[in-house]
Amino acid sequence: MTRALDDSDLLDDPIELFRRWFDEAARTGMPQVNAMTLATVDAAGRPSARTVLLKGVDDRGFQFFTNYESRKAGELAANPHAALVFLWIPLERQVRIAGDVVRLPAEESDAYFATRPRGSQVGAWASEQSRPIAERDELERRWQELEERYGHGRVPRPEHWGGYLVVPREIEFWQGRENRLHDRFAYTPAIGGGWQRTRLQP
């Protein structure tokens, strides 16, 4: 599907425009519209990337959750900046976000953890994310032991698990066009508040 992205299609607030694009992607029925590439850099400047799920967006920025002892968390501790990419192929759209990363308050992580399926809650305790393990049986045995330990009661959030907020300093909207003459608009913070918008060449 090829379409134009003109100034008349844009909003002053890129967060609101992202929400509009996200909702339009969701209406296509494509799976996992909240999947995003998260790119981080370690203390030596070596980049790495992986796909995670967006779990919330508000005026502050973009939220995701993970193990605070994982590789990505270690890289964010050393270099608290990241980039996100959303790609919605049926719409020929991409959104790229770059910004600073901070941990969400514990109460927000608690609130989200309580909404997760019970198996995923237990899994957050069972997996030492990013660390080597000899066999899968060991991981499944650990999960079963924890499931029995908590029985039918509440599974508390592990202290080593919680949320991050990517506070954007640039948000770019990309719309595919014919002949690779794509439409691109970048939003950056404006002096005095708000956002300034710039059209970029493809």
> Within this chain, do residues 93 and 171 fall inside the same structural domain, yes or no?
yes
> Within this chain, do residues 137 and 187 fall inside the same structural domain, yes or no?
no
Q: Is residue 186, in this structure, part of any structural domain at all? A: yes
Q: Is residue 171, in this structure, part of any structural domain at all? A: yes
Average the pLDDT over 189-193 and give the result. Answer: 93
> Within this chain, do residues 108 and 137 fall inside the same structural domain, yes or no?
no
The pLDDT tens digits of the residues spanning 21-34 come to 999 999 999 999 99
Q: Is residue 130, in this structure, part of any structural domain at all? A: yes
Rounded Cα distance between 185 and 171, Å, is 8
Domains: count for the chain = 2
pLDDT at 80: 98
Q: Is residue 2, in this structure, part of any structural domain at all? A: no
Q: Is residue 85, in this structure, part of any structural domain at all? A: yes
Q: Which residues pair with 164 in a beta bridge?
A: 64, 103
pLDDT band at 79 (very low <50, low <70, confident <90, very high): very high
Let me know if 46 is a catalytic residue: no
> Within this chain, do residues 147 and 76 fall inside the same structural domain, yes or no?
no
Domain that holds residue 132: 115-156
Q: Is residue 1, in this structure, part of any structural domain at all? A: no
Residue 59 sits in a domain of what CATH number?
2.30.110.10
Rounded Cα distance between 125 and 201, Å, is 47
> Within this chain, do residues 43 and 80 fall inside the same structural domain, yes or no?
yes
The pLDDT tens digits of the residues spanning 172-182 come to 999 999 999 99
Share of the chain above pLDDT 70, in %: 99
> Within this chain, do residues 75 and 139 fall inside the same structural domain, yes or no?
no
Q: Is residue 97, in this structure, part of any structural domain at all? A: yes
pLDDT at 65: 98
Rounded Cα distance between 57 and 37, Å, is 16
> Within this chain, do residues 175 and 99 fall inside the same structural domain, yes or no?
yes
> Within this chain, do residues 110 and 127 fall inside the same structural domain, yes or no?
no
| Residue 86 phi, psi dihedral angles, 5° rounding | -105, 135
pLDDT at 143: 79
Identify the active-site residue in 149, 180, 197, 199: 180
The pLDDT tens digits of the residues spanning 108-135 come to 999 999 999 998 999 898 888 888 888 8
